[in-house]
Amino acid sequence: MGTWGSTLYANDSTSDVRDSYIKYLRDGISSTEAYEKILEEFREYIEEDEEPLFWLALAETQWKTGRLLPEVKEKALEWIDKCGGLELWEESANGGAGWKKTLERLKLKLLSPMPPEKKIKKLQEINHNLWNVNDIYAYRFHGEGAEKHGYKDKYLLIQKIGEGGESLIGKSAMQVHIIDRVFDKLPTLDDINGARILPLDFPTRCMNEEPVWMSTYLHLYKNSEYPAKHLTFIGNRQGPANCESNYQVLAWFDIDAWLYEFHQLWQGVDYDTIGKGVYRYTKGNRV
């Protein structure tokens, strides 16, 4: 168990109990069901040295959300009176003085009037796979940085080429590549003919013959970050797809900036194919 301080949630065990209980409430289940689930999930804590930490964290979280059950309160107060968890500080110079103060404050809280039950909002469902494979959209630059660098109201084409990235962001996301050409007016499907793909990488990283990242997984932190009003659907067709897996993940919220930055980095820089869907920076060669 990791411990990084003497406050209640400055260790892995109490943090896990708190976060899991809140997650159950966000799932929309009742307080009783959440309690039953948390008991089942952390059964091994109750049977091991982490038991006092379990009851302390659960009691504080239930009190804070207006859901403190009598049996949880009783268990927590019993462990407070026994200085539960103090063994974490056996080797500390002050004998766990900070943890003792934490327990004193928690006892005062649990014995004070509990706040009204708080509504716990369900977490927003986020769909990272917004397009069909081979969909092509024109993205219109609009930010201050784009205006400063001469890109405002110009377009770049983005194409979805696959899905994946579960190990990177926890959920499957759309994999895209960018057509390496800036358009002054809204482009058409024919404008991808003969175009190269824009590397989404840094030339300096690729100079040691590392493969160039030619695509990225796009994700959202929240749905409102998706720049729908700056995207125009162009059509669906097979493009110059690069489906080679990589570990690049970029976000929608700052797409205006990273698009023109990568475009600037690779203008006049050549790269060549070294295998199916794999590209290499060509040292010293400019086009």
| Amino acid 278: pLDDT | 52
| Amino acid 167: pLDDT | 59
Q: Count the Cβ atoms, other than its own, within 10 Å of residue 30.
A: 11
- DSSP β-ladder status, 135-140 and 278-286: unpaired
Q: Tokens 């659960």 identify what position?
A: 58
| Amino acid 249: pLDDT | 86
| Amino acid 286: pLDDT | 37
Which residues in 73-106 are b (16+ Cβ under 10 Å) and which e?
bebbbebbeeebbeebbeeeeeebeebbebbeeb
- What 3 state SS string does 41-68 have? HCHHHHCCCCHHHHHHHHHHHHHHCCCC
| Amino acid 36: pLDDT | 94
pLDDT along the chain (287 residues), means of 10: 74 88 89 93 85 94 95 95 82 78 94 93 79 95 93 96 74 88 94 87 73 86 89 91 72 92 89 56 47
Nearest to 92 by CA among 7, 14, 5: 5
Structural domain spans, the chain: 12-111, 135-286
Residues 225/252, Cβ–Cβ less than 8 Å: yes
Q: Where are the alpha helices (DSSP H) in the chain?
A: 12-26, 31-41, 43-46, 51-64, 70-81, 97-111, 144-148, 166-169, 203-206, 255-266
pTM: 0.58
| Amino acid 151: pLDDT | 96
| Amino acid 41: pLDDT | 92
Angle subtended at Cα 37 by Cα 29 and Cα 100, rounded to the nearest 5 degrees: 110
Q: Which amino acid is at 45?
A: Y
- DSSP β-ladder status, 249-251 and 216-219: parallel
Alpha carbon distance 286, 221 (integer Å): 38
Residues 54/19, Cβ–Cβ less than 8 Å: no
User: Which structure tokens are listed for 65?
Assistant: 């959300």
